[in-house]
A and B are shown apart, each in its own frame.
Chain A
Amino acid sequence: MVQISSVFKLSLDPQTVKQWKRFRSIKRGYFSAVFLVFLLLLSCFAELLVNSRALIVSYDGKWYFPTYSWFISGDTFGLDYDWETNYRELKQHFKEQDEGNWVLMPLVPYDPFENDFSNTYGAERPSWETKHYLGTDTAGRDVLARLVYGFRIALGFSLVLLTCSYIAGIAIGCAMGYWGGAFDLVFQRLIEIWNTIPFLYVIMIVASVVVPNFWTLVIVMVLFGWTAMTWNMRTSTYKEKAREYVNAARALGSGNARVVGVHILPNTISVIVTFIPFSIAGGIAALTALDYLGFGLPPPTPSWGELLRKGTQSLDHPWIVWSVAIAIIVILLMVTFIGEAIREAFDPKKFTYYE
């Protein structure tokens, strides 16, 4: 409770208002942030935009909403099979029948798994007619659908990773800075030792023994990723600990938890916030790299790294590698812009070397 109210107070803080205003004034960072949040929200509802299941089917006066529902077999709509309806064919079928039934398909009527070989072998060029706006990959899967779902997974992964490693990193870093002494010394050495373990090898070993899934990857990466944050938190806490207000709080009888949680943490928030965008970018890049090397999420999970590998392996189908390369560049560039803007906004000195 204490922390929530302090955050609330913080948001009304004139200093914060000033920082926010400064952030807004840096246009490319601000618009990147708006756009990225927009993309994030959109990707939460990707099923409504990119999906092989129809949004609405009107059949014999009854409406169906297959997107989030149970699978609906073909015979429900008068087709002669009992597996999942192919809604694109159903749409065509209804059109030919012309009995007032209709199907509303999402913008991109493909899901990231199905193999569409209707027009060619394997990879198909981008085309408006087939609605493969970015073409298909070598297994006939829609590149755009895989990009969108891959983005959602990568971003989700990155956010989970960030939350977990920040909680661990901030807690331990604060403790090291706050208590200092032997505790600090021991943890410093432990972290140094821990950091020398080659992280990529651990992932490779894990991937060769079990099929890594979302959570095993998060766990392994948190295990090796929390240390980065500790150094910064340790220094900031050390600095803040020596300030008068901390002494005052202590003199008033505040316990350790209150001093750290209510007084020190809010004052180090600028350090944390400036790191967040880069951590997100790092998370996305790490997952993409792992997938590219084949140690990431198992097939057939849609992923940018896997698309990138497919693309570079079949340069005869350049639309694969182009789509994903541009997507990666745009996203990472936007995150960098945001990071820059935040750093600028939180900088206590108005004029920095960056200007």
Chain B
Amino acid sequence: MKRVNLLIRSFIVVSLVWSVTAHAESDTDVDSDTDDSDWFEIAPEDLLPEELPENLHWETNNEDPEFASPDAIRGGTFHTWMISFPKTMRPVGPNSNGYFAGTLRPLQFTPVAIHPNTRKPIPMLATHWALGDDGRSFYFRIHPDARWSDGERVTADDFVFMLQFMRSKNINDPWYNNYYTERVTDLKKYDELTFGVRGADAKPYIEMLDSVNLRPYPEHFHELSDAWVKDFNWKPEPTTGPYHVDVVENGKYVELARTENWWANELRYVRNRFNPERVRYTMIRDMNTAWLHFLGGELDTFGLTIPEFWHDKADTDDFKKGYVAKYWYYHRLPVPAAALYLNTAMPLLDDKNIRYGLAHSINIQRVIDKVLRGDYERLPTFQLGFGPYDNTSIKPREFDLNKAKEYFAKAGFVSRDRNGIRVKKNDAGKVIARLSFTITYGRPIHTDRLVVLKEEAKKAGVELKLELLDATASFSKMLEKKHQIAWLTWSSSGFSPRYWEHFHSANANVTQNNNVTNTSIPEMDPLILKFRASTNLEERIGLAHKLEQMVHDHGAVIPTYQVPYTREAMWRWIELPDWLGTETSGSLANTQATSQGYSSGGLFWINEDKKKEILALKNKGEAMEPLTIIDETYRIFPSEDADEAKEGE
């Protein structure tokens, strides 16, 4: 029970897009007098065997295509920015889960990574891996050449140390303490370069591999003691990835340097990647200021996902004269589940006709076209962006007042009251119910979107009241299942969709879990469990399609919009492969070893000759051919309207 509880809690933490980073921020006092390994107990069946099992089927992958460009040029300094200065260089412990963690953590290689196009495992720090008989253990063979950036060898001891480290009270990080006892139960060294990891539950192959694919911690570097948190605050760790932190200029910038004679330079899936010699993160406290720095050529790239930037601001002389290129690149990453979640435990919303009627009264398209300038796309299904798991045959319920009227009439709502809101009357002609619902939400910035939905819903005879609460309060209201309609976005990650936490009846009408629709469908439960337990890819895909269809038919989720792309401005001296990126590139200009589990980063390079050339042209004011590239290779739902809109750019 405790484990389930913890699981749910960790899901909540991980799933919340806008939640304040909760787990690693805690500053709980730890009683440092206690013996460090005494506080937990691992059941014997959760431990790995003493000897390496003999019948292991060792796997590797040297067949998948490479995705980096052989034209890449090594060298130069890549200039980018950060909005706040990191409070620490530690990867764990108090204050470590801030904004910069997203840069620090991917500096480390993990034993394997996921190929960004084929979505199969590829070797990184390990050369081979093998799944244990129990379905929840993996064994790895470390690459014999693997070195830390300070020259030390990477051995199985570094992995053993990792577990000891994560379980230590000295790191002052209860979330990791728990995770590495409850979810990762054992890690054992078999020889200098071989070790095994056991997780708590069996999962499908790729998910299982992902959950035990843990980075090592340098044993020779860390000194675990009561003072660790303080002593290692500003001591950057050595890394196994391409870059390590070289300079920390407090309050100004952090500079990464490429490790000299990096051990992985010639690895199959790594060569021609991570090309800049140095990467500098300059702190700029404000986005608009950063934009000016970019226009001044002090930053090499700038994100343009916000409509205002892409449409209005990215139109200066530098763009018109072609010194800066604009890229609009579609990818296929798990799409955050932005939707209206109807609480089916509430009166009226327990009626499927009302739910369908509501879906047809919600004018998402108008919000997308007008408030979001046509840049976002309608999200057709609850879960999307998981490759073959996506059920692309489902069409979303469109804004259609006739259909809405039909469904509401079926539910008994035929007449309207003095404000035009539909009401249900009893035989005596007395009003017994009114189509009025409250939407709970937590981000003031979304008010503009919701007021449009509210006004449009009036046409269908539906009153939507807006309840804007503080982000935390609104989410707790949803977890307590006290809302009627929740306007909420679940973040989406991993390699396959999740249904148990959102739709299994075990989570319905119980507070503090992610089933905010209180969905409880007897026919759905066994399929969900089967989907969770199955390790057969074909079967899982079939089940996912079926489950997604059931979610759609149930009508408790009204999916809203998605942003299935990245948009960036880059000075033309930043060059990309002809294919720009990969299927899972969240950004075209990141230097991270892995992002969202995929090894997709570091494909670009800096062309120093071109930089001189462009700056000379700019000085003379001579124009080049402007460059705007819209790459739809990985677009899932190409829509004609959107294409027309873009031609008008």
Tell me the bound Cα distance from A121 to B459 in angstroms: 21
Assess A83 versus B370: contact at CB under 8 Å? Given A71-B416, A138-B448, A299-B447: no
Binary per-residue interface labels of chain B (340-373) against chain A in the complex, 1 for a CB within 8 Å, 0 otherwise = 0000000000000000000000000010011101
Of all chain B residues, the one with the shortest Cβ separation from A300 is: B451
Assess A115 versus B452: contact at CB under 8 Å? Given A208-B470, A211-B467, A294-B444: yes
Chain B CB within 8 A of A207 CB: yes
Assess A208 versus B469: contact at CB under 8 Å? Given A139-B451, A139-B452: yes
Of all chain B residues, the one with the shortest Cβ separation from A309 is: B444
Chain B CB within 8 A of A141 CB: yes
Binary per-residue interface labels of chain A (153-175) against chain B in the complex, 1 for a CB within 8 Å, 0 otherwise = 00000000000000000000000
Contact yes or no, A84 B370, CB < 8 A: no
Tell me the bound Cα distance from A83 to B416 in angstroms: 9
Give B25-72 interface residues, CB cut-off 8 Å to A: none
Contact yes or no, B312 A316, CB < 8 A: yes
Chain B CB within 8 A of A140 CB: yes
Chain B CB within 8 A of A183 CB: no
Contact yes or no, B420 A300, CB < 8 A: no
Chain B CB within 8 A of A113 CB: yes
Contact yes or no, A298 B466, CB < 8 A: yes
Min CB–CB distance B641 → chain A (angstroms): 15
Looking at the complex, which one of A117, A141, A211 makes contact with B469 (CB distance below 8 Å)? A211
Chain B CB within 8 A of A70 CB: yes
Binary per-residue interface labels of chain A (200-214) against chain B in the complex, 1 for a CB within 8 Å, 0 otherwise = 000000011101000
Assess A140 versus B473: contact at CB under 8 Å? Given A71-B418, A211-B467, A300-B447: no
Min CB–CB distance B102 → chain A (angstroms): 26
Contact yes or no, A70 B418, CB < 8 A: yes
Chain B CB within 8 A of A122 CB: yes
Looking at the complex, which one of B447, B450, B459 makes contact with A84 (CB distance below 8 Å)? B459
* Among A83, A113, A117, A209, residue most surrounded by chain B Cβ atoms (within 10 Å): A83
Chain B CB within 8 A of A114 CB: yes
Residues of chain A with a CB closer than 8 A to B467's CB = 211, 298
Of all chain B residues, the one with the shortest Cβ separation from A210 is: B469
Looking at the complex, which one of B371, B420, B469, B472 makes contact with A73 (CB distance below 8 Å)? B420
Chain A CB within 8 A of B460 CB: yes
Of all chain B residues, the one with the shortest Cβ separation from A314 is: B308
Q: How many residues of A contact B (CB 8 A)?
A: 26
Residues of chain B with a CB closer than 8 A to A63's CB = none
Binary per-residue interface labels of chain A (92-136) against chain B in the complex, 1 for a CB within 8 Å, 0 otherwise = 000000000000000000000111010001100000000000000
* Among A82, A113, A207, residue most surrounded by chain B Cβ atoms (within 10 Å): A82
Residues of chain B with a CB closer than 8 A to A83's CB = 401, 420, 458-461
Contact yes or no, B451 A299, CB < 8 A: yes
Chain B CB within 8 A of A81 CB: yes
Residues of chain B with a CB closer than 8 A to A121's CB = 370-371, 373
Contact yes or no, A299 B452, CB < 8 A: no
Of all chain B residues, the one with the shortest Cβ separation from A204 is: B470
Tell me the bound Cα distance from A113 to B371 in angstroms: 15
Contact yes or no, B451 A113, CB < 8 A: yes
Residues of chain A with a CB closer than 8 A to B469's CB = 208-209, 211
Contact yes or no, A113 B455, CB < 8 A: yes
Residues of chain A with a CB closer than 8 A to B447's CB = 139, 299-300
Tell me the bound Cα distance from A141 to B312 in angstroms: 21
Contact yes or no, B455 A117, CB < 8 A: no
Q: Is the interface of B mostly helix, strand, loop or mixed?
A: helix
Residues of chain A with a CB closer than 8 A to B450's CB = 299
Residues of chain A with a CB closer than 8 A to B401's CB = 81, 83
Residues of chain B with a CB closer than 8 A to A139's CB = 371, 447-448, 451-452
Min CB–CB distance A3 → chain B (angstroms): 40
Tell me the bound Cα distance from A117 to B444 in angstroms: 21
Residues of chain A with a CB closer than 8 A to B416's CB = 71, 73, 82
Chain A CB within 8 A of B454 CB: yes
Give B362-421 interface residues, CB cut-off 8 Å to A: 366, 369-371, 373, 401, 405, 416, 418-420
Tell me the bound Cα distance from A211 to B450 in angstroms: 16
Chain A CB within 8 A of B468 CB: yes
Min CB–CB distance B460 → chain A (angstroms): 7
Contact yes or no, A207 B420, CB < 8 A: no
* Among A207, A209, A299, residue most surrounded by chain B Cβ atoms (within 10 Å): A299
Assess A300 versus B454: contact at CB under 8 Å? Given A115-B370, A208-B470: yes
Tell me the bound Cα distance from A81 to B420 in angstroms: 12
Tell me the bound Cα distance from A298 to B464 in angstroms: 13
Assess A84 versus B466: contact at CB under 8 Å? Given A139-B448, A300-B451, A300-B454: no
Tell me the bound Cα distance from A238 to B468 in angstroms: 48
Min CB–CB distance A79 → chain B (angstroms): 12
Of all chain B residues, the one with the shortest Cβ separation from A117 is: B370
Tell me the bound Cα distance from A156 to B503 in angstroms: 47
Of all chain A residues, the one with the shortest Cβ separation from B405 is: A82
Min CB–CB distance A84 → chain B (angstroms): 5
Min CB–CB distance B417 → chain A (angstroms): 8
Tell me the bound Cα distance from A49 to B452 in angstroms: 24
* Among B448, B452, B459, residue most surrounded by chain A Cβ atoms (within 10 Å): B448
Residues of chain A with a CB closer than 8 A to B451's CB = 113, 115, 139, 141, 299-300
Contact yes or no, B459 A71, CB < 8 A: no
Residues of chain B with a CB closer than 8 A to A71's CB = 416, 418-420
Residues of chain B with a CB closer than 8 A to A114's CB = 455
Residues of chain B with a CB closer than 8 A to A81's CB = 401, 459
Min CB–CB distance A316 → chain B (angstroms): 7
Residues of chain A with a CB closer than 8 A to B448's CB = 122, 138-139
Residues of chain B with a CB closer than 8 A to A141's CB = 451
Min CB–CB distance B114 → chain A (angstroms): 39
Contact yes or no, B420 A84, CB < 8 A: yes
Tell me the bound Cα distance from A264 to B419 in angstroms: 50
Binary per-residue interface labels of chain B (434-470) against chain A in the complex, 1 for a CB within 8 Å, 0 otherwise = 0000000000100110111011001111000011111
Contact yes or no, A115 B420, CB < 8 A: no
Tell me the bound Cα distance from A326 to B321 in angstroms: 41
Min CB–CB distance B573 → chain A (angstroms): 30
Of all chain B residues, the one with the shortest Cβ separation from A72 is: B420
Give B282-314 interface residues, CB cut-off 8 Å to A: 308, 312
In the complex, given contacts A73-B416, A138-B371, what are 11 additional A-B residue pairs having Cβ atoms less than 8 angstroms apart? A71-B419, A82-B405, A115-B370, A121-B370, A122-B373, A138-B448, A139-B452, A208-B469, A209-B473, A299-B444, A299-B450
**8 A-B contact pairs sorted by A residue (CB < 8 Å):** A71-B416, A71-B418, A81-B459, A115-B451, A140-B370, A208-B473, A299-B468, A316-B308
Identify the 8 closest CB pairs spanning chains A and B, nearest first.
Answer: A208-B470, A71-B420, A83-B459, A117-B370, A139-B448, A70-B418, A299-B447, A300-B451
